Amino acid sequence: MTENPQPLTQAQDHDRRIGRLEGIAEQLDRRLDSIERAVVEQGRQINARIDALEQRQSAQFRWLIGIQITTLIAIGSLLLSILNKLPG
């Protein structure tokens, strides 16, 4: 003769449900921690790329200023040369 399992009391049912909810909450906590770590890592990677771009932009800006100054000196020298050749 098999025994029928005794029905759960209301308190036992609540305990079982609470235990299940606690397990779900722990699982969600682990998932959120994982997502947070991924977001932080992405932020670090983005910051590193921005820093590299800023360095590259600074180097290119220095080249641009150097070329402009060289051009200004060349034009100034040309004008002085022309003015020296004018009679007068």
Q: Are 31 and 23 in contact (CB under 8 A)?
A: no
pLDDT of residue 2 exceeding 90, the answer is no
Three-state secondary structure of the chain: CCCCCCCCCHHHHHHHHHHHHHHHHHHHHHHHHHHHHHHHHHHHHHHHHHHHHHHHHHHHHHHHHHHHHHHHHHHHHHHHHHHHHCCC
Confidence of residue 7 (pLDDT cuts 50, 70, 90): confident
pLDDT digits (tens, 9 = 90+) for 29-83: 999 999 999 999 999 999 999 999 999 999 999 999 999 999 999 999 999 999 9
Question: pTM for the complete prediction?
Answer: 0.58
Q: What is the mean pLDDT of residues 79-88?
A: 89
